[in-house]
Each structure stands twice: as structure tokens, then as C-alpha cells.
Structure 1
Amino acid sequence: MKAYNFLAFDLGATSGRSVLLTLQDGKFEMREITRFPNAVMELHGKYYWDIFALYKSLKQGLCTCAKENIPIDSIGIDTWGVDFAYIGKGGSILGLPRAYRDPYTHGMEEAYFKKVARKEVYERTGIQIMNFNSLFQLYAAKQEEYEPLENAEEILFMPDALSYMLTGKRICEYTDASTSQILNPVTKQFETRLLEAAGVSPSLLRDVVMPGTYIGELTDAIAQETGIGKVPVIAVTGHDTAAAVVAVPSVDPEFAYLSSGTWSLMGIEVEEPIITDESYEMNFTNEGGIEGTTRFLKNITGMWLLEQCRKEWEKAGRIYSYSQIVEMGESAKPFRCFVNPDDPVFANPSSMLKAIAGYCKTTGQFVPVTDADFVRCIFESLALRYNEVICMLKKLAPFTIKKLHVIGGGSRNKLLNQFTANAIGMPVVAGPSEATAIGNGLVQARSAGIVTSRWEMRQLVVNSIPTETFLPQAQELWREAYTRYDKIVNQQVYK
């Protein structure tokens, strides 16, 4: 069988990569070609993504492939959700895209609900209410009289904006658009009423296309500049979690997944959206998946807490490897303090260490002292939060959940995987860690006709990537810990 080379551009909130997936004889191999930083940029109190730096980094990945004489069959791009670029009437990108951590959306959801009721917004979109969703970003921009919005002909979500920069062709990919809180998950069309209530023209958004759609070839200028030639660009599962779920190594549809990274996304894959009074009260979301499926999930603040602590430690001259951090977590005394990772105080604090310490003090708990104390607090709190969410999922899922697949970078954290198994009381299957890039590449393979379904894609993952299973331990201790956690973060007995 011919070897196929698919180039996956996988962009996260803190870094991006170009990854080569080579598929041959029913298996694939992966190789990281380039890695580059990505970060929110603050300017005059507003927060942006430097899309032009990202564009330059994508071209560098193409240049590297050309220099190494790697023939590329196609290219795909996945990113985080909700954020977008404004496109002017002449096709220019109007300024830098605003970042979802920009405080301009604070309180905007409640202001918007005076125009359209909260429950109606949920019933029309099935999306978890979060202040930074695209709908509320557009409403906030309208209230600001934000100049790029005032002059925009169209908006393009982040993966679509980057593919537009590479090809000159504009599309609106389904999975990323589904995170916006504007798309109806049943009709798969944008809700004009919601846009009009925000004071925004529905013409800003075009009809969605499904993952696997051909966008176009690289522009002549990029093909020549990079030396890579006229390579086709495919609309993959543009939202990174959708890409990661493609790569869940399961041949059984009755699974739950946890895509673990800066954010932790816990959910199930279903054929139809779940929009009920219970899902509304529990604030679950219905996002788009491969083959028109629904990713029924909840967003959980994940390794963001640890990432921000590490930045502070590094500034103080304490630089820890990931293995050292795991050892620190193992060495610290257990069950001394817990936090709710999704408390607004942890969204974007000036000091994460102070935010965690302040939360523990306010709730009458032990206040972390050593760096190891902070690590243990974060890992235990995440595991207990995962148990809280999976208990909700069990009530809403149309099937019995028997195991949890942990995918993404966090799947390499053996201590957190074991804590999670202990907390949820069921097996945790860890891997692949590169699920997002794998899913990106496999959707390109499906577009090329090499595989025909998501189950064939997942069988390729099973054939190619080893996993590790963690079984529950110390069940009674973790049940007692969860009872304490629940009182602290939900019943607020100390507040």
C-alpha cells in the first residue's frame, strides 16, 4: 500500500505544532515537524491572538517539509473554539481576533438574556452557557461599537480564518462553528433570531460544511514561498476536541472520554443532541462531532491551574520537569484541601498561587505552603471534579458508561490518571496523548478515501497506539474525600 502523508496543524491556547501522520498498511506513524508558541496578547486592556504570527508558523512548518522533501497529500488545521476573525469587504482581516479570556464579555450573557431568555438560548443551541461563547463576544463587541465588527462583511472561526490565509477560500466548518452558541445542533444552521437580538447581521456567517470537505489548494504565493507546491487543504474537525474524539481508541460506542489539556472536556458521543431540562440545569453542551454526531460534554478547567502555577514558579527560579511535578504530587500529604477548578476566581487571575491559597483560606481549609502542596491540591481537585461531572453524565447518557478514555496531553500524567480512576470508581484507559493531531490527520485520510467511517479511523488508532489502563484503588478514602469536596465547592458550608 502507498504511504500517505497528512500534515496536521494543531493549535492550542499555549502552543501549536505541525505534525506529520504517515499512514500505510493499516497503521500510522507520527512525527512532530515544528512546534511554536501561542499566547494571549494584551494591548490597552484588550486581549488578542496574534493570528499573523500563527500564519508565519504554519508557513515555517510547510518550509520544513519542503526542505526535507516530504511529499504532503493534504493539510488540516484544528484550533480551540469560540474565537473568530473579522473579514472586511475587500477580504482583509480586520485586526487581531479577540481572545476568549478577554474580560469584555464579563456579565454579557446576563445582559443578553434580557433580550432572549437563557433557557431559550440553550434550547435553540444546546450549548453550555459560558460568558465567552461567540454569541456573547459578538454582543459585547456590538456594545463596544467595536470597529472591526462595524466594518466586517463576515466572521471566520479560527481554523477557518487560518485556512483562508493559506488558500484564499472561505468556509465555515461544522465542529468549530458548533461551539459558538449560535448554531442549532438539530438543523445545523445558525439561529438568525439570536444574532439579530445581539444587533448583529446573520449575513456575517455562512452555511456550515462538514469535516472532510475540500477547501482549496495553497495559494500560488505560499506554494512558491515555502517550496511545498500546490497542496490541498481539507476542512478537518476544526475544533480540537472534536479532532481528539475522533482518535478515541474504542471499538465500542458506549464510552465516555476526557480530553485533557489546558481545558478538560468530559463527555460522550451520541447520534442526536441531548437537550432536556436536566441537561439545561446541569449546563451540559452539545457540540458537533465527526459524521454529524454530537459531542455531549461539559467544559472543565483543566491543567490551566497547573500551567499558571508553573509560570510563577519559573519566574521565581524554580523550574520543574513534568516528571518532577508528578513526584511532588505523590510526595505531598493527601486530602488536605480542595478547590473548584471552575470557580470564576481561577479564570485569569494575576496570581494563580494566590488565587488557590485565597480559595482554601476562605473555605476554612488547609492553605497550601509548598509547591508540592499546590500540585497535590490541583490534581486531587481535578479528579474529584471529574467524578462530579461523570456522575451527571451517568444520569443523562442513553447507555451505561463502563470506562473513561483519557486522551490528549494530560493522558501522560499517570498520577492524575490513577487519581481519576480512584475518584470515579471505574477503569481509566489513557492514550493517545496526541489525539488531536491524530484525529486531524485521520479526517484527512477519510477525505482521501482511505477510510470510510469513524470506526475505521478508531481501529487504526487501536492498531497503532498503545494505551495504559488504570483500575480504581482506595475507594473508601476517595468516597470520603468526595463528600468533603462536595460540601466545600457546592454546599459552601464554610462560606
Structure 2
Amino acid sequence: MKGVLAFDLGASSGRAVLTTLENQKMVIKEVNRFSNYAIDSNGSLRWDFEFIMDEIYKSIKKAEQLGDFDSLAIDTWGVDFGLLDKNGELIENPYHYRDKRTNGSFSKIKEIIDPLSLYQKTGIQNMEINTLFQLYTLKNQKPEIYDRAEHLLMMPDLINYYLTGSIKTERTIASTTQLYNPTKQNWDYGLIEKLGFKTSMFPEIIDPGNVVGRLKDSIVEKLGVSNKKVIAIGSHDTASAIVCTPFNNKETLFLSSGTWSLIGTQLNEPNISENTYYNNLSNETGVDNKITLLKNITGLWLIQEAKKQFEREGKNYTFDDISQMAKNAKSVECYFDTDLAELTVPGDIPKRIRLLAKKTNQDIPLSDGEIVRVIYENLALKYRTAYEELCDSVGKYFKDIYIVGGGANADFLSQCTANSLNLNVISGFTEATALGNSLVQMLAMNVIESLDNGKAILANSFETKTFSPEDNENWETKYYNYKQTLSGGVKIGK
């Protein structure tokens, strides 16, 4: 068969993967990989959209030289967007969700709509990075930009527009905005009007598996490639990653581990109870119209930023090196919330962690290995708090958890997660997002019969690792100390 080209754009890197089905096995070939970092634009954090598109064009041309493919599809992180003017031109580079302009916007939104009412409409946890808060801030701080806007396109939809000229929004990415109603399965126009937004800005929503369009003639001519279909897939990267998770039973959790960590389960319908609201969980839409009930928390961002700092100091560790360093380092009694505001902006993360330890009278991680170990351990402890909130919200416990995405490469993190949650951890499908993207393309192109068929092929194509819980008593003590430290209480000792 001809292949499909999957673009998986994360908040720190992008990749293009050519996928084919050979002898009932998925075969992937990396076409291009590139860094994707925020740029400083007059004091604000932005995405370099011209650079992103240049890498996409380069990847399409290179993929054509490596092997024939029929279609391509884009997935990206959620919440960020671009605005088009009446001429269909991008008004300005899209903001990065870590830009500080939205700080304090939640208190302003609360004056317009009660947070519980907002949650009952959208089912999304309140985070000031969400599209709702970004757009509200833009409307109030830069009305001249807002007034020019004719269309709001989420990042994958904006890329699709540049490739095809089609103005559409894919459903899974729409569900990240906090302006989509998962019960009505459409934009919540009442909420949009209540916030003073133009309803006309929000495009028609299409489902994964639909054809967005074909490459523009100008792109085909410029790149010297044949015309390709552009497919709507689970364009929110989490939705694509979850496609790879084999939910063999209702007692399975997933952990999509990348720059962000998203831990959750699948439901047939939204869970928008007060209990779920107070646990601050999100109801996002999946590829097969399932609801993904999840917690969105900081993930390998901390490791990525620590790695950058090490490099500034002349130490070029690989991620494998970092995982091994953590395993070999001694465990330091240093606990912190990985979602702390001072840990969510770029910079010297190791220094900030040491300052936190000193400020809270804890042991200070000194070596690089100790720093990365406390990051991994605190991530695993944070996962447990999210796990307990999920169990509380759905009224049941789980037996195992699948880790997919780049974090599945970090064996030490997988073992820490098994220890912390006291669950079996199955890790694998490190390129889960690109593979999920590819599976939906293959389904749309009638190469595979169903998603279940595709998951069976995946299971036959790639190996997984299983990590069983260890050192339970020690990790129970760690978790107790973690909770006591975060609440300002007294630890029980080492």
C-alpha cells in the first residue's frame, strides 16, 4: 500500500513520520524532526508559524522522495490558535500558552459566569492557558486585533487552512477550548455570546476521518509533489495518542506522557458532576466520539527545561542518560507541586527547585542526577493525586495504566509511577501520537477495517514493557510526606 504522512507537532518539537502497513505490521520511517520552541516577540511568547510551515513543506517534499503516500494529517497541542482577517491572512503569530498575559484572567471570568456553571457547559478544568481565557484577554487587551478577526482557527486547523484553504475545526481540538459543549457536541454559542465573543469567528466542526481538502495547487507546484488529501484526524495530540491505548477493559487508565502529562480514562458520555468539577478534571472528546476524562498536569517539561540548563552549562546529556542518572542518584527528601507557577515558565529549573527546597526547609538536591530524580519522583507523586481524583470522580479503582508517548522511554519514570500508584504500568508506543494519527488516516483511506483492527495491528508491531509496583512501604511514606509538605504540615521523617 501507499503510505500516510503523520505530522505530530508538540510544544517542544515536531516530527513527520511516514507510515506503511506491511504484512499486517505498522512500519514507521521518520522523515523530519525539528525543535519547536517559543520565540520572544516584544516581550510576549509566540509560536514562529512561518518556521512551522516551512518545516511542514520541507517534510512533504522529503517524504515524497522517500516513498509514495496518499494522505497527510496534522496533530498539535491544544488551546492555542491563530486569527484570520477578512482577507484570510494570519493577523499575527499565535501566542504561546505559557505567555503571562492571561495571568489573573480567571478572576475576571468569574465576574461574568460562575465557575461551576462554566464547567457544566464545557466540562473542562479551569486553566488560564485555555482558549477561552486567551481570547478574553486578547479582546480586552488588544481590541484592535480582536476587531479585525474574522475566523479563529486552532493550531492544527490553521495549518490545514494553509495547506488546503479550507476553514474548518476538528472536533477533538475544539474540545480543548473551553468553548465547546460536549453534551451538545457543538460550540456553546450561549457561552460565546455571554463572554462577548463573535459567534461568526468559530468555524464548522468536522469529525476525525473526514477529508479537509487537498493540497493547494500552488503548494503542489512549489514543492513538485503530487496532490495529496489532507485528513482530519484526532488533531489534538492527546486524542491521537489515546487511539493507541488498548483499553482491554474498563479498569485501564492511560497516561499520555510528553511535555504535558494527561492521565485519565474513557467514558461513553461526559461526567460533569460537582464532584468532577471540584477534582478539576476535563472531559475532552476522543477520536471515536468517546469522552476522555482526564487531568492535565505538567509533564516532561521540567526534564526538558533541566536538560536545556545542563546544556547551557556544557553538559550534553541524552534523555536516556537523564533517566539512568536519576536511577543511580540517591533519593532526596524534597517535595513540591510540579504545577507550581515558578516551574511553568522557561528558565533555570534546577536552580528554582533548589530554591524551593531551601525555602521549605527540605533537603536540597545537589547533583544533576539528584535534580532529575526529584523531578521524576514528584511527577509520579503528582500522578497519584490525579489518580485518586479520577477514582473519586468515577467511583471505582483501576488495575493498570498504559503510558504512551515520549515518556514511555523513561524506564525510571515508569517504575516510579508503578510504585506511586501501586498499579502495573505498561509502557510503549513512544510514537503513539504519530501512530494514532496514522491509524485514523488509514481508516479514512479504507486501509484498515476499524480502530480495533488498527490497535490489534499495533500490538503486533511494537513491544511494550511492564513495570510492577515495588518498595510499597517506602512509597507510601513518600506520598504521605508529599501531601504534608504541599499542605504545609509536618512530615513524619525520612
Q: Alignment partner of 1:392: what SS?
A: helix
Task: Tell me the CA shift for residue 72 of structure 1.
Answer: 1.0
Task: Tell me the CA shift for residue 253 of structure 1.
Answer: 4.5
> 387-396 or 266-275: which moved more?
387-396
> Which residue of structure 1 aligns with residue 56 of structure 2?
58
Q: Deviations over 1:119-172 (max 9, x none)?
A: 111110000100010001010001112433220111100000001101111111
Q: Alignment partner of 1:34: what SS?
A: strand
Q: Deviations over 1:460-485 (max 9, x none)?
A: 21111110100011111111110001
- Aligned residue among 282, 285, 300 for 1:303: 300
Task: Tell me the CA shift for residue 60 of structure 1.
Answer: 0.4
Letter in 2 for 1:9: F
Task: Tell me the CA shift for residue 50 of structure 1.
Answer: 1.0
1:383 aligns with 2:380: yes
- Aligned residue among 178, 189, 211 for 2:175: 178
- Aligned residue among 41, 44, 48 for 1:43: 41
Structure 1 residues 296-335: aligned runs within 5 Å: 296-335=293-332
Q: Alignment partner of 1:223: what SS?
A: helix
> 46-55 or 432-441: which moved more?
46-55
- Aligned residue among 199, 203, 208 for 2:200: 203
**Distance in 2 between the 1:88 and 1:355 partners?**
41
Contact 1:250 1:458 in 2 (8 A): no
**Distance in 1 between the 2:489 and 2:51 partners?**
44
Task: Tell me the CA shift for residue 372 of structure 1.
Answer: 1.4
Moved over 3 A (4+): 249-254, 490-494
> Which residue of structure 2 aligns with residue 410 of structure 1?
407
Structure 1 residues 90-489: aligned runs within 5 Å: 90-397=87-394, 400-489=397-486
- Aligned residue among 22, 26, 29 for 2:27: 29
Task: Tell me the CA shift for residue 400 of structure 1.
Answer: 4.3
Q: How many equivalent residue pairs? A: 491
**Distance in 2 between the 1:487 and 1:438 partners?**
41
Cα RMSD for the two superposed structures: 1.4
Q: Alignment partner of 1:300: what SS?
A: strand
> Which residue of structure 2 aligns with residue 7 of structure 1?
5
> 237-246 or 351-360: which moved more?
351-360
Task: Tell me the CA shift for residue 199 of structure 1.
Answer: 2.2
**Distance in 2 between the 1:254 and 1:8 partners?**
30
Contact 2:5 2:63 in 1 (8 A): no
**Distance in 2 between the 1:77 and 1:226 partners?**
18
Letter in 1 for 2:317: Y
**Distance in 2 between the 1:250 and 1:191 partners?**
30
**Distance in 1 between the 2:310 and 2:194 partners?**
45
**Distance in 2 between the 1:194 and 1:273 partners?**
18
Q: Deviations over 1:68-105 (max 9, x none)?
A: 3x211110100000000101111111111111011110
Contact 2:75 2:233 in 1 (8 A): yes
Q: Alignment partner of 1:290: what SS?
A: coil
**Distance in 2 between the 1:481 and 1:100 partners?**
32
Contact 1:328 1:372 in 2 (8 A): yes
Contact 1:20 1:32 in 2 (8 A): yes
Task: Tell me the CA shift for residue 358 of structure 1.
Answer: 2.0
**Distance in 2 between the 1:337 and 1:400 partners?**
28
Structure 1 residues 56, 174: CA separation in 2 closer, same or farther (over 3 Å shift)? same
Q: Alignment partner of 1:291: what SS?
A: coil
Instruction: Give the % identical residues.
Output: 36
Letter in 1 for 2:244: A
Q: Alignment partner of 1:179: what SS?
A: coil
Q: Deviations over 1:375-414 (max 9, x none)?
A: 1110110111111111221222365411000000000111
Contact 2:18 2:63 in 1 (8 A): no
Task: Tell me the CA shift for residue 207 of structure 1.
Answer: 2.7
Contact 1:251 1:455 in 2 (8 A): no
Letter in 1 for 2:77: W
**Distance in 1 between the 2:383 and 2:469 partners?**
14
Task: Tell me the CA shift for residue 359 of structure 1.
Answer: 1.8
Task: Tell me the CA shift for residue 449 of structure 1.
Answer: 2.1
**Distance in 2 between the 1:239 and 1:407 partners?**
15
Q: Deviations over 1:289-325 (max 9, x none)?
A: 0111111000110111111111111111111122221
Q: Alignment partner of 1:73: what SS?
A: strand
**Distance in 1 between the 2:348 and 2:193 partners?**
39
> Which residue of structure 1 aligns with residue 16 of structure 2?
18
> 262-271 or 185-194: which moved more?
185-194
Task: Tell me the CA shift for residue 194 of structure 1.
Answer: 2.4
Q: Mind listing any 5+ residue stretches in structure 1 that lack a counterpart?
A: none
Task: Tell me the CA shift for residue 493 of structure 1.
Answer: 4.8
**Distance in 1 between the 2:85 and 2:216 partners?**
20
**Distance in 1 between the 2:54 and 2:74 partners?**
14
**Distance in 2 between the 1:380 and 1:289 partners?**
29
Provide TM-score, normalisation by structure 2: 0.97
**Distance in 2 between the 1:388 and 1:94 partners?**
41
Q: Alignment partner of 2:365: what SS?
A: coil
Letter in 2 for 1:442: L
Task: Tell me the CA shift for residue 454 of structure 1.
Answer: 2.8
Q: Deviations over 1:37-85 (max 9, x none)?
A: 21111111111111111111011011112233x2111101000000001
**Distance in 2 between the 1:321 and 1:350 partners?**
19
> Which residue of structure 2 aligns with residue 81 of structure 1?
78
Task: Tell me the CA shift for residue 266 of structure 1.
Answer: 0.3
Provide TM-score, normalisation by structure 1: 0.96
